Structures are given as C-alpha cells and as structure tokens.
Chains A and B, each alone.
Chain A
Amino acid sequence: MNAPSAPATETLVECVGLGKDYVMGDNVIHALRAVDVSIQRGEFVAIMGPSGSGKSTFMNLVGALDTPTVGILRIAGQDIGQMSSDALARLRNETLGFVFQQFMLLAKTDAIDNVKLPLMYTRMDPAEKDRRARAALERVGLGQRMDHRPSQLSGGQQQRVAIARALVNRPQMILADEPTGALDTVTAAEIMALLEDLNREGVTIVLVTHEEEIAEHARRIIRFRDGRIIQDSIREVGAA
C-alpha cells in the first residue's frame, strides 16, 4: 500500500483522466475535466489559474479532501477513488501536510499545541509528540516562541507555526493554498524561502497561488483554465 521512501524520480501523485463534477441545482459544473498529470517525489509545483479554473478542485483532490467523479488519482500509490473516509483521513494524517492562506491556527492554544494537532490523531508516545513538535517549531525558526499564542505572534510567525504543524507528521508532500496571500512582501519572501528549504530537504511541495512572483519560486508551474491544464512548464534551476 504505502510506498517506501524512494528516489526523487518516483511518482507521488498520478492523475489519469481525472474529472470532478459538482451538481448545483439543475446544473452540473465540470470543475475538472480529464486531467492527466503526475507529480514526482521532491518536486516544487505551483498551481495557477483564475478563480473557477479548477485549481482549487485539483488541490482538494490532491489533498485527499475530496474524491474524483471520474478518472484515477493515486497519491503515494493509493487510489483515492477507492478509499473510505477513514482511510482518506489516515492518508492526510500520515502522508500530507496542509498550509492555508488564513493560517488556521487554534486561538487560545499555544504554538506547540497547535503544532501537535495532527499528532492528536496518531498513536504515539506523548514524549515523542512533544519532541517532534519542538523539532518542527525549531525547524521553522520559532524555537523561542513555543508557548506563544497566535494572537501574540506576527502573521509571518503564525504561518511558520502552521508550516511546523504541516511538518510535524513528516509528510511526503506539503499542500500550500495561497500561503503568502495574507502576508506582506518581505514576510512572503521569507515564507517562500522556508518552503524552498524544505523542498531542498526532500519534501514535495504543491503550492496554489495567483501571484507570478510567488510561482517563480517553484520549478514547475501548472496553469489551469476551465477545468483543464492549459500549461505545464518546468523552469531552469530556480530559487535564490
């Protein structure tokens, strides 16, 4: 079932004829139509496109939050279309990390406990959970802010806590949905630098953005329009 750690050329996400329809009243909306694409382990991919282009639908599918209407979607070798709700939750828990535009931290909960959130749904020794959460916070440069609450942190720091939370389960892929959308340019650059670092260390990163500057950080850009991929380009070596 679960693919072992493998060389960077291994396919992590594989879409074959992937489609997603939504029924809105009497209308069927084809949010995604016959998408064939795959993402290799270790890639840094930016997903772009106007609203309604299907990029959010694609991200939800790749994030195992939704299941396809037609086609095949495999994540880390597992066929999403064939999985139960519980199995999808387990896949999200063990294989994926999520970073959101609005950070999605629990208020009134300090940084370390926010980072531990995914571990709550994992069987693990409490001391090990603590050790992992600390390591993740240190990795994002917040070793000194572990007991701060979100309200006591800047936007950039909050997003770092969120990234630490995405890292704490040692995921194979981080899905970042407009991770810099709520941040100023300088902070956004810092967050992107952090994501690039993580990518260099081996984590596959899929990023949704509508800003070209942000997308520049990725080595591969996939552009969606009307539910289809209209461009899939790999750049020459990028990043600062």
Chain B
Amino acid sequence: MSSVIDQKPANAPTEDRPAAVGVQLSASLVIALKAIRTNSVRSFLTMLGIIIGIGAAIISVSISQGAGQQLQEQIQAFGTHVLQVRPGSSFFGGRRQGAGTARPLTDRDVQAVAELSDQVEAVSGRIQSNVTLLAGGRNWPTQVQGVGPDFAITQSREIIEGRNFSEGEARGGATVALVGLTVVNELFDGIDPVGARIRINRSPVTIIGVLEEKGANNFGQDQDDVIWMPLAAVRSRISRSSGSVPDNAGTITIKVWDDLDVLDVQAEIEDLLRLRRNLRPGADDDFAVFNFAEFIRARNETQALLGFLLAAFSATSLVVGGIGIMNIMLVSVTERTREIGLRRAVGARRRDVLTQFLVEATVLGLIGGIIGMLAGVGGTYLAAHLGEFPILISPWTLAGAVGIAVFIAVFFGYYPARRASRLDPIEALRFE
C-alpha cells in the first residue's frame, strides 16, 4: 500500500497549534493580493476615497507646514518685538483717512516714546525719499532714509565698517551717511567708502559707515540698496517739501525689550500717544501701531483656516473612503460566503478568517495610501507651483499619511472581517 493516506499525520497534533502567524499572514497576503487583482477596477474605486483623502491631507499639511516655516523665518528676520507707528487711522479701523492728511508724528513723539526706557530698547523716526547719489562721476538712484541713531538697533542691523552717527550729529542734522552694500558696489566698486564724499541733491554728504548685508525682504525689496542719514538732515536738506510740520518724524519704529509682552507695551504706547495728541476717550486713534508679529499671526490664522478646511475635507474623504472599503468588503464577504464556509470546513479558525479579511483591508489601505501619497506629493508641488506657496513635505507627513490610510482601512474593514469570521460554516457552505 503506497499512497498518501494510510500514514499517521506528519503534522502530529500538538495541544495548541502555536499559531503559524508568519505563514498565515503571508498566505493571507497572497489571497488578498489575488482578490484585489481579480477585481482590480473595483479595488481601485474602493481605494479612491482613501487616495483622495490622503492626497488632500498631504497637500494641506505640506502647505501649512511650509507656511509655518516661512512664518518662523519672517519672525526671526523681523523680530517679534518691533512695533511701527504710522500717522492716520488704524489699518482695520472703521473710517479711514488718507495717511497724508493725518496729523504727523513728530520728534517730540519719538522723544516721549524713548522716555519709556524700561519698556523700549530703541526708538527712531523715519522719513524716506527717493534720491540720486553722485560720486566721482557716477550716479545711482536709491532711497535715502532719515532716521535716528537707534534705528540700526530696531532693525537688528550691525554697522560693519566705520561708525554710526552720534546723538549730536542726529540732533544737528549733520550731513553724514551710512550706506548699504548695493550702494557700495554700485558707486565704489565694493571698495570701503568710509570717508568718501558724495552728493545728494547738490548737498555734500560724508559716508561714515557701511551697513551689514540684509538681502531682499519678503516683498523682494533689496534692503542693501539704501542710504541712512540723520532724520534732521534729510528733512532740512533733501526732502524739504515733505510735510508742512517742521519736526515731522514720519513713521516711528520701536524695539521693545525682548523679555516684555509686546502687546502690553503696544497698549502703553497707544495710551501715551493718545494723551499727547489730546484724543478724547472714545475717539478713534489718529495713528496706527503696527505689530509685525500680529500681522503675521493674523495671516497665519488665514492659512490655518485654509489648512483646517483642507484637513476637514481630507478627513471627510477618508471617512467616505473607509465606508467605501467597508461596503466593498461586505460585498466581498457575501460573494465569498461559500469560500469562507469551505475554509472553515477544512480547518480555518474564526481568527484565520478574520486575519484574512483584515489583511485584505490592510493591503487595500496600504496601496490606496501609497497612491494617495504619490498624488499628494504631486498635488503639493502643483499647488506650490500655481499658488507660489511655500511648502514643506516632511517624511513624517508621508509616513503618517500612509499609516492613517492603513488605520482607516483596518478600522472600517474590521466589521466586515468580523462578520466573515462569525459566519456559521454550515450555512456558509449552503449559501447560494
């Protein structure tokens, strides 16, 4: 007697089949891939919700992370403790007057703010005017800024050659100037210009220092294409026409001590200026204190809202995608009822059937997640290209997105899988 049958089973029964988990999983994986491939169109449609959800999630997270990173850079570049005061009503106020018609801020206002020295580290007025610089037969159009000696501190800007102008020079309106590197390059071929004399609107001006390189600001303006002079000098010699008030200080830039709450100081300064300008209680400010950090924060809130909407959209898609998976798996379980009955008859335990369908859900989620990830990365670059957004695609975002896809698939696949595992083998075998 040859044959397969009259031997004792080689898989000698042990008390507890020490679950052949690895083998079982890889076998389930094969079944799952086969089931998915057999119904490839249906499987793709099933995964579509997951794909869209994951794609949208990646786009939203990448855009908001990019915006957040840019925000940090901007805050670091500008400083969170810098305030700007402009004449004219608040940016967001009800009635708006033209800035030019408002009562200007004056040197005495600057002085008054400076006296809050326990709160204010540095303060400076600033008026600006477009001028043409003349030096040794060359000329260069640029912007002259009339500022106080503390302006450099408010801008966190070093003087890399020469020196800053003194209080006395500032007060006296001395015709001395600090220049940016672009000006140095254009007029002096990059050679140290300290001590050189140039002409601005026929006034002779002596260069006493060079400003640290800053590059372009967020609006693309070259911050090195600039010349700084004492405010009084600009007022009296260069832009005489500007303003009818003789001590017009233009806008005031204030650096608040780093350890203070900038909003508290802002309120203090507002009170001070209202008092100085004799504004009755209840009357609108006729000046505006501009807080750059607040501005960025407000813009960030807009971006956060956009991100939230996209996140809500992607969450909705994921739930819809999960329901899609549940729906298709319920169909699949029904279609394969007899197969489940057969598997149970030949020895599959409930948990084997459960595992099989959970693996199938996992594979659906994994494939959907990976396709969604690719779509999301593509969509992010497209959005960045079209909308000129800053983006930041981190590997954690991608890994997290795929993880969420798998979680959603397993979560929504659990019910159908459990249903499959609970089928009565006898009824399942008879199912037509």
Residues of A within 8 A of B (CB): 1-2, 4-5, 60, 63, 65-66, 85-86, 89-90, 92-94, 98, 100, 104, 106, 108-109, 117-118, 120-124, 128, 132, 135-136, 139, 165, 167-171, 198, 201-203
Contacts and interface: CB of A to CB of B under 8 A. Distances in A.
Given A65-B425, A85-B350, A104 B338 contact: yes
B385 to A, nearest CB: 44
A94 B15 CA distance: 12
Given A2-B13, A139-B5, A201-B1, 5 more contacts: A1-B13, A93-B347, A167-B5, A168-B4, A171-B5
Interface in B1-32: 1, 3-11, 13, 15, 17-18, 20, 23-24, 27
Nearest to A60: B426
Contacts of A123: 11, 17-18, 20, 23
A106 B345 CA distance: 14
B345 A170 contact: no
20 contacts: A1-B13, A4-B8, A5-B8, A65-B425, A86-B349, A86-B350, A86-B351, A92-B346, A94-B9, A108-B38, A109-B34, A120-B348, A121-B352, A123-B23, A136-B4, A139-B5, A169-B9, A170-B5, A170-B10, A202-B5
A201 B5 contact: yes
Nearest to A121: B347
* Residue among B5, B38, B426 having the largest count of chain A Cβ atoms under 10 Å: B5
B319 interface: no
A76 B419 CA distance: 31
A165 to B, nearest CB: 7
B344 interface: yes
B13 A118 contact: no
Contacts of B34: 108-109
Q: Which 3 A-B pairs have the closest CB atoms?
A: A93-B347, A123-B20, A118-B346
A168 B3 CA distance: 11
A92 B350 CA distance: 13
Interface of B: 1, 3-11, 13, 15, 17-18, 20, 23-24, 27, 34, 38, 338-339, 342-352, 425-426, 429
B347 A85 contact: no
B358 to A, nearest CB: 16
A118 to B, nearest CB: 4
Nearest to B4: A135
Given A1-B13, A94-B9, A104-B429, A132 B349 contact: no
Contact of A170 (B7, B20, B343, B429): B7
Contacts of B3: 135, 139, 201
A1 B331 CA distance: 40
B349 A100 contact: no
A223 B387 CA distance: 82
Contact of B349 (A89, A104, A135, A170): A89
Nearest to B338: A104
Contact of A118 (B8, B17, B347, B425): B347
Contacts of A1: 13, 15
B351 to A, nearest CB: 8
A92 B345 contact: yes
B5 A124 contact: no
A117 B349 contact: no
A92 B426 contact: no
A124 B24 CA distance: 11
A139 B4 contact: yes
A202 B4 contact: no
Given A65-B425, A123-B18, A94 B347 contact: yes
Given A135-B4, A202-B6, A98 B23 contact: no
Given A94-B13, A169-B11, A89 B347 contact: yes
A60 B11 CA distance: 24
Contacts of B7: 170
A24 to B, nearest CB: 14
A93 B24 CA distance: 15
Contacts of A118: 346-347
Contacts of B23: 123
Nearest to A120: B27
Contacts of A93: 346-347
A64 B7 CA distance: 22
